Amino acid sequence: MATPSSYCVKIDTLNGCNITLFSRCPPKTLISRRSFIKCSNSYNWRRCLQINSPRRIVTRTLVASADANHIDDVEDVEVNKDADLEKKQKSGQLAKRVVFGLGIGITAGGVVLIGGWVFSVALSAVIFAGSREYFELVRSWGIASGMTPPPRYVSRACSVICALMPLFTLYKGQIDVSVASAAFVVAMALLLQRGNPRFSQLSSTIFGLFYCGYLPSFWVKLRCRLLAPALNTGVGAAWPVLLGGQAHWTVGLIATLISISSIIAADTFAFVGGKAFGRTPLTSISPKKTWEGAIVGLTGCILTSVLLSKLFSWPTSVLSAIGFGFLNFFGSLFGDLLESMIKRDAGVKDSGSLIPGHGGILDRVDSYVFTGALAYAFVSNVLPLYGV
């Protein structure tokens, strides 16, 4: 901090009492402290300064002014540093999101193309991580303060059961009996535990089996169980024989690719549309979502579904492709809002920190939880002959 004696005050007798603050004074312009004190006690201190200082330049103890200027300078520097640091952090987070997003997208695309047990095992790993995040959210302070969470051994057992559901779906085709049996065992374990069993423990645990295990397993049904060949697609005709040839391109593979691509388009278009045109909040569950963004996301989802249906020649009806796009959008939106509601009650921003720049697994796959079941039901029950 600059010393008070380093500032000069010029007294201009022609302009009344105007005082101007200069920069650092040369040593020869400084007068003695005794003269300044003598003048400061005088009634006509300006005249006194003129007499005692022929050069009309004096030093004055501007401690308050110096401190104020110094504080302002420090605050400006700190604000600039904070702004630069925040800008660098945002740039770093954006770079992480792009890098890891591309990595996840390429890996997921390869897993979907391979299908079979590779797809099921990869889905099981994602389900296990997601179920662990779900039960941690249930045990968080925000939710646990209003209910009794399940014991840790029950939540860990449920995570393992959820992870096994895609494998049962792949080799058995149906898991309804398995899910019902698992729910019965978990319910008995909760009822026979020590202490006072609570209904909140049972409800949160059974919902975890349904949300984290049963619903995502429909992606295995959609990708691996709909084996009707998509004979009209030109991509299948050019597919190498060593990789399965045209028989590799089934209705399940094309439906999975269109559904996942439509969800990605819906999220991307909704984000861009919300940033550009968003004015009207969609719901209090997620304040950042707007009606304008939802409409743009719906448009992007339908366009993606129609364009890919033309590329793959499936489904053959444009109306079916539009209906498929509608279904994918509303399934993804509902899943996103449901996970936002869980995080809001838990009092957290992200479900976890497993993926740098993206948060947790549930933050990335929340839009896919319900969509697989809806897509499978649409293709197997609504489209005649599976849309071929």
Each residue of 181-202: pLDDT tens digit?
Answer: 889 999 998 988 887 888 888 9
In a domain, 306, yes or no: yes
When pLDDT is averaged across residues 347-366 and rounded to a whole number, the result is: 82
Q: Indicate if 247 and 304 belong to the same structural domain.
A: yes
- The boundaries of the domain holding residue 28 are 4-61
pLDDT at 159: 94
Domain match, 370 and 289 both: yes
138: in domain: yes
Whether residue 84 is contained in a domain is answered as no
What is the C-alpha to C-alpha distance for residues 367 and 375, in angstroms, rounded to an integer? Answer: 13
Residues 239 and 218 in one domain: no
Residue 107, domain member (yes or no): no
Within-domain flag for 105 = no
Q: How many domains does the chain have?
A: 3
Report pLDDT for 71. Answer: 52
Kindly report which listed range (90-99, 133-142, 230-239, 335-344) carries the lowest average pLDDT score: 90-99
Asked if pLDDT for residue 246 goes beyond 60, the answer is yes
On whether both 215 and 130 belong to a single domain, the answer is yes
Q: Which of 21, 43, 61 marks a domain boundary?
A: 61
CA-wise closest residue to 14 among 51, 54, 50, 61: 50
Q: Is the pLDDT of residue 52 over 60?
A: no
Residue 118 pLDDT: 95
Could you tell me if 231 and 121 lie in one domain?
A: no
Are residues 128 and 213 in contact, defined by beta-carbon separation less than 8 angstroms? no
Single residue among 225, 244, 274 that ends a domain in this structure: 225
Q: Do 203 and 243 belong to one domain?
A: no
Classify residue 90: in a domain, yes or no: no
**One domain for residues 185 and 298:** no
| Of 17-21, 68-72, 270-274, minimum mean pLDDT range | 17-21
Residues 316 and 253 in one domain: yes
Cα(56)–Cα(51) distance, integer angstroms: 9
Q: Which residue has the higher pLDDT, 345 or 358?
A: 345
Mean pLDDT, the chain, integer: 80
* Predicted confidence band of residue 32 (pLDDT cuts 50, 70, 90): very low
Minimum mean pLDDT range among 16-30, 175-189, 323-337: 16-30
Residue 89 lies in a domain: no
Q: Are residues 328 and 309 in the same domain?
A: yes
Q: Is 377 found in the same domain as 230?
A: yes
Based on the fold, state whether residues 139 and 215 are members of the same structural domain. Answer: yes
Looking at the predicted structure, is the pLDDT value of residue 74 above 80?
no
Give the pTM. 0.75
Tell whether 347 is covered by a domain.
yes
Choose the final residue of a domain: 191, 225, 259.
Answer: 225
241 shares its domain with 258: yes
- Return the pLDDT at 91: 62
Backbone angles phi, psi at 19, to 5 degrees: -125, 130
| Angle in degrees, 0-180, between the axes of helices 199-208 and 116-138, rounded to the nearest 10 | 160
